[in-house]
Amino acid sequence: MELDAFKVAVDAWLDEHERELACDYEGVGTLDQQVAQLRKVMGMAYAAGFMRMGWPERAGGLGGSNLLRAYLGEVLTARDLVEAGIYSLPEVLAPTMIDYAPEALAAEMVPKLLSGDEIWCQGFSEPGTGSNLGSLACRATHTDAGWRINGQKVWTSLAQYAQRCVLLTRTGTPESAHRGITAMFIDMDSPGITVRPIESMHGAEEFCEVFYDDVVVPLDRVLGEVDGGWSIAMDLLPYERSTALWHRASYLHRRLGQLVSAAAAGTLDPTAVGEATQLLWAFRARSRATQRRLAAGETLGSETSIDKVLVATAEQAIFDLVAEGLGPDVATGDDPVSARWRAEFLYSRAATIYGGSAEIQRNIIARRLLGLGDDR
Q: How many residues bind other proteins (CB under 8 A)?
A: 53
Cβ neighbours of residue 20 closer than 8 Å, sequence gap 6 or more: 44
Cβ neighbours of residue 174 closer than 8 Å, sequence gap 6 or more: 137
Rg, Å, the chain Cα set: 21
* 69 binding other proteins? (CB under 8 A): no
Candidates 74, 219, 64; CA nearest to 143 is 219
Stretch that binds other proteins, among 82-90, 139-147, 251-259, 337-345 (CB under 8 A): 251-259
Shorter beta-carbon distance to other proteins: residue 174 or 281: 281
Quote the CA–CA distance of 181 and 236 in Å, as a whole number: 15
Pick from 17, 39, 148, 286: which binds other proteins (CB under 8 A)?
A: 286
Contact at 8 Å (CB) between 252 and 318? yes
Shorter beta-carbon distance to other proteins: residue 46 or 246: 246
* 192 binding other proteins? (CB under 8 A): no
> In which region does residue 68 sit, left (phi positive, over 0), alpha (psi from -120 to 50) or beta (all else)?
alpha
DSSP secondary structure string for all residues of 135-188: G---EEEEETTEEEEEEEEEEEETTTT-SEEEEEEE-S-GGGGGGGEEEEEEET
Strands 164-170 and 120-123 turn out to be parallel
Minimum separation from the CB atom of position 10 to other proteins (A)? 12
DSSP 8-state code for residue 300: P
* 312 binding other proteins? (CB under 8 A): no
Q: Which residues face 185 on adjacent strands?
A: 166
Shorter beta-carbon distance to other proteins: residue 173 or 271: 271
Quote the CA–CA distance of 123 and 212 in Å, as a whole number: 11
Pick from 42, 226, 268, 318: which binds other proteins (CB under 8 A)?
A: 268
Stretch that binds other proteins, among 52-60, 64-72, 129-137, 149-157 (CB under 8 A): 64-72
Minimum separation from the CB atom of position 117 to other proteins (A)? 28
Q: What's the longest Cα–Cα distance across the chain?
A: 70
* 293 binding other proteins? (CB under 8 A): no
Tell me which H or E stretch contains 152.
strand 146-157
* 296 binding other proteins? (CB under 8 A): no
Minimum separation from the CB atom of position 312 to other proteins (A)? 11
Pick from 163, 176, 231, 277: which binds other proteins (CB under 8 A)?
A: 277
Strands 181-187 and 164-170 turn out to be antiparallel
Contact at 8 Å (CB) between 83 and 18? no
Minimum separation from the CB atom of position 281 to other proteins (A)? 6
Pick from 8, 47, 104, 285: which binds other proteins (CB under 8 A)?
A: 285
Shorter beta-carbon distance to other proteins: residue 88 or 157: 88
Pick from 63, 127, 257, 336: which binds other proteins (CB under 8 A)?
A: 257
DSSP secondary structure string for all residues of 80-129: TSS-HHHHTTHHHHHHHHHHHS-HHHHHHHHHHHHTTS--EEEE--BTTB
Q: How buried is 57 (Cβ within 10 angstroms: 0-12 exposed, 13-18 middle, 19+ buried)? A: exposed
* 104 binding other proteins? (CB under 8 A): no
127-166 footprint of other proteins as x/- string (CB under 8 A): ----------------------------------------
Quote the CA–CA distance of 153 and 207 in Å, as a whole number: 11
Pick from 20, 24, 144, 375: which binds other proteins (CB under 8 A)?
A: 375
Stretch that binds other proteins, among 151-159, 199-207, 216-224, 285-293 (CB under 8 A): 285-293
* 3 binding other proteins? (CB under 8 A): yes
Pick from 281, 298, 328, 335: which binds other proteins (CB under 8 A)?
A: 281
Residues that bind other proteins (CB under 8 A): 3, 7, 67, 70-71, 74, 246, 253, 256-257, 260-261, 263, 265, 268-275, 277-279, 281-286, 288-289, 291, 306, 309-310, 313, 359, 361-363, 365-367, 369-376
